[in-house]
Structure 1
Amino acid sequence: MSLFVCLLILFCCDLNLGQSWNETEGELTCPDSCTSALLAMEQKIEDMEIKLAQFETKFINSESQIEELKNQASKKVIFSAAAGGSGSIGPFNTDTTLVYTRVITNIGRAYGQFTGVFTAPVAGVYYFSIFYHSGGEYGGKLLLYKNDQLMIMTHDHESQSDTADNGGNAVFLQLQPGDQVYVRLPANSHVWGHGLHTTFNGFLVNEM
């Protein structure tokens, strides 16, 4: 800033605004009117620099707010999917992960349509629910797992007199990023895949 002011002084004096040479001091001087004008110009430049700094701060804050909104949007996790097929799913000889191929909602894309596995994107408390419909000729049963640990189940025994069964259950789970939640159909059990009766649902309740 001082170099700029000095250049202005030289420019001012070079325009014959009353400049004089002080032979005793050996320096170039300008009259009061010239000095006042330069000081006023210097003050305006300083004011502009302050306003520019304030604008930069507001711009940085705006960028941070936009980024925060993007992060909040990316943390919305909601899914709902139904088992597909034209009839009964199972019974199988071994426990089988049930793949809910009819995706109804998948905000956050945490549910895998082709694997049947939900993978937690962020740490938090999640809510999950499972429902099924089945016939009575075989047992109807579903198991909900967190990683390799059984969390909840719902089932009904086979019955010759009961031609239709329905069941459901729900749970809150605290998950870490990468934790997986899925539903297994136990061996010798079955559920109905037609008509959107059998569903797997979940959403992020609170991030932690």
Structure 2
Amino acid sequence: MIVSICLLVFFCCGLNFAQPEDELSISKTEFDALKEKLDFLETKLRDTEMRQINCVSQIAELKNEERTKVIFSVTTSGSGAVGPFNTETTLIYRAVITNIGDAYSPSTGIFTAPVAGFYYFSIFCHAGGHNRVQLFLYKNNQYIVEVYDHESASDTADNGGNAVFVQLQQGDQVYVRLGANTHVWGDGTTTTFNGFLVSQI
């Protein structure tokens, strides 16, 4: 009886030992296939994570650009003509219409870039025809564009303007200078200086 039980246990154990061996050989094949799929999924996951990181970075940059708003529009104030002066003179636009970001100083007439980027600037003027008109737009000490009109005995008044896109670094200064022995009309809102940040870099 004991021998029969031992044989039965041995037979059952033998089945148990043999059965996992078959399962292991099947599992190895499945394991290789699963490992290949897992490697593929890990690669896709890494790619997805990198795309998410890039998206988060781009969103942060866009939010930063949204926070950095620079827009100004200013005009000369006073009565009658500004100029003529014997030397080239920085034109100070004291009447502020808009100055979002406070980058323009109405006490100096100078715009200082708060961030690096591409900016748009425009200058417009009104003047009597009996004197020359010459306005220069400067970046730091570098001349960029100008408005010019010669005097005429028969011409009573003129309007002129110019505009430009400029790449600036943080701290760069942009301002307008009135040419020597020239003038513009300073009364009202006809002589203006305008600018805004187009794209931050």
Q: TM-score range by the shorter chain?
A: 0.5 to 0.7
CA deviation after TM superposition for structure 1 residue 140, in Å: 1.1
CA deviation after TM superposition for structure 1 residue 195, in Å: 1.4
| 1:111 maps to 2:107 | no
- CA distance in 2: counterparts of 1:176 and 1:99, whole angstroms: 23
What residue is the counterpart of 2:121 in the other structure? 128
Runs (5+) with no aligned partner, structure 1: 1-66
- CA distance in 1: counterparts of 2:179 and 2:125, whole angstroms: 13
- CA distance in 2: counterparts of 1:68 and 1:163, whole angstroms: 51
Contact kept, 8 Å, 1:74 with 1:108, in 2: the verdict is: no
More helix by share: 2
What residue is the counterpart of 1:77 in the other structure? 70
Contact kept, 8 Å, 1:144 with 1:184, in 2: the verdict is: yes
CA-to-aligned-CA distance 1:32-59 (integer Å, 9 cap, x gap): xxxxxxxxxxxxxxxxxxxxxxxxxxxx
Percent identity, aligned pairs only, is: 67
* 1:168 corresponds to which of 161, 164, 168: 161
| 1:155 maps to 2:148 | yes
Given the two structures, how large is their TM-score scaled by the length of structure 2?
0.68
| 1:191 maps to 2:184 | yes
- CA distance in 1: counterparts of 2:161 and 2:62, whole angstroms: 36
| 1:95 maps to 2:95 | no
- Secondary structure of residue in 1 paired with 2:104: coil
Runs (5+) with no aligned partner, structure 2: 1-59
- Letter in structure 1 aligned against 2:120: Y
CA deviation after TM superposition for structure 1 residue 157, in Å: 0.1
- Letter in structure 1 aligned against 2:153: Q
C-alpha RMSD of matched pairs (Å): 1.5
- CA distance in 1: counterparts of 2:80 and 2:67, whole angstroms: 36
| 1:203 maps to 2:196 | yes
- Secondary structure of residue in 1 paired with 2:197: strand
Contact kept, 8 Å, 1:154 with 1:169, in 2: the verdict is: yes
- Letter in structure 2 aligned against 1:200: F
User: How many pairs were matched up?
Assistant: 142
- CA distance in 2: counterparts of 1:79 and 1:96, whole angstroms: 21
